[in-house]
Structure formats: C-alpha cells, structure tokens
Amino acid sequence: MASSAIDELYSMGTGFTVVRYTVPGIKDIPVACKILFEDGECDIIMALGMPGGMPVDKMSAQIASTGIMEVQLEEKRHIIEVFVHEDEAKDDKELAWLSDRRAREHAINTYNLLFDPGKLTANAGAGLRQGFDDKGPAMDSNGYSHRH
C-alpha cells in the first residue's frame, strides 16, 4: 500500500518529501505518527494498514483509529487513515486491487488537503468512495442532485 501511495503522490506534484516509518502492527501507528510530526517535521501523514477480519482485529483497528484521532488533535495536523480490512474483499486478488486503489485515491485526498483544499469542497457530497466504485450523490424527487 505504501508504494502505491508514494507512486500516486509523486505523480501529482513535486516540492515535497516522503518519510516512511514502518511498524509491526496497526496499534503501533499512532505513536509513530506523533514521532513523524514532532521529530520528522511532517505536515501530513498517511496511515496505511490492513486490519484482519477477526473481532479482535476490529477492536485493534478501533483502538488504532482512536489513537490516530488523538495525535491529530494534539498536533493540529491531518492524518489520512487508509485501512483496508481483510474482510472487505472476497479474495486475495480483490484485496490487492482494493489496497492499491484505495491507497492511490487517499493519496490524492492527502495531496489536495495540503496543497489544493478547494478541490475537496468541489467534490463534497458527491458520494466519492475510496477503493470501490463511487456511490454517487443522493438524488431528490426532482432529479436534482443533493450535491450543491
């Protein structure tokens, strides 16, 4: 996932550096983010992980996400969490495809959040999803999109 994200980021622009920090498990991510913000001088972080499909893994993902939330608030900087749950895909092939696609789409969001936030407002309410096909905006009875 990291390679997909890095590849996508470099395809969007230049003038930034990517620092990579690998941890053994997803619950090790939050403190790594804190270290990257404070000692690695990062402005934004992509947190990539693949939680398993068992209940204990779901709990780990929740705790990891809660820690990621806390670091963002302490540092007042965004962390884009990119978790692909093993049970989101029907087989390994789809899992590989989904991981690559979600990492790339979140890389675009990460880039825009830092360098081009106006693009995000333009897409708000459009029902964009990271990985699977976009859901599309909700439509009202007159056929007008709920997106404004």
Q: What are the φ and ψ backbone dihedral angles of 47, each rounded to 5 degrees?
A: -105, 105
Least separation in angstroms between CB 46 and its own copies: 11
The two tokens of residue 84 are 């692909």
For the residues of 6-26, what is the DSSP string, one character each? HHHHHHH--S--------SSG
Our finding on whether 74 is near its own copies (CB under 8 A) is yes
- Mapped onto helix, strand or coil, the DSSP state of residue 54 is coil
Q: How far apart are CA 62 and CA 65, in angstroms?
A: 5
**13 or 38: whose CB is closer to its own copies?**
38
* Contacts to its own copies from residues 104-133, by CB under 8 A: 106, 109, 113, 117, 120-121, 123-125, 130
Our finding on whether 12 is near its own copies (CB under 8 A) is no
* Contacts to its own copies from residues 29-58, by CB under 8 A: 30-32, 34-35, 38, 55-56, 58
CB of 117 closer than 8 Å to CB of 125: no
Q: How far apart are CA 117 and CA 97, in angstroms?
A: 27
Our finding on whether 59 is near its own copies (CB under 8 A) is yes
Segment holding 82, helix H or strand E: strand 79-83
Binding-site size for its own copies (CB under 8 A) equals 68
Our finding on whether 2 is near its own copies (CB under 8 A) is yes
Our finding on whether 24 is near its own copies (CB under 8 A) is yes
- Mapped onto helix, strand or coil, the DSSP state of residue 140 is coil
Binding site for its own copies (CB under 8 A): 1-4, 20-25, 27-28, 30-32, 34-35, 38, 55-56, 58-74, 76-81, 85, 88, 92-93, 95-97, 99-100, 106, 109, 113, 117, 120-121, 123-125, 130, 138-141, 146, 148
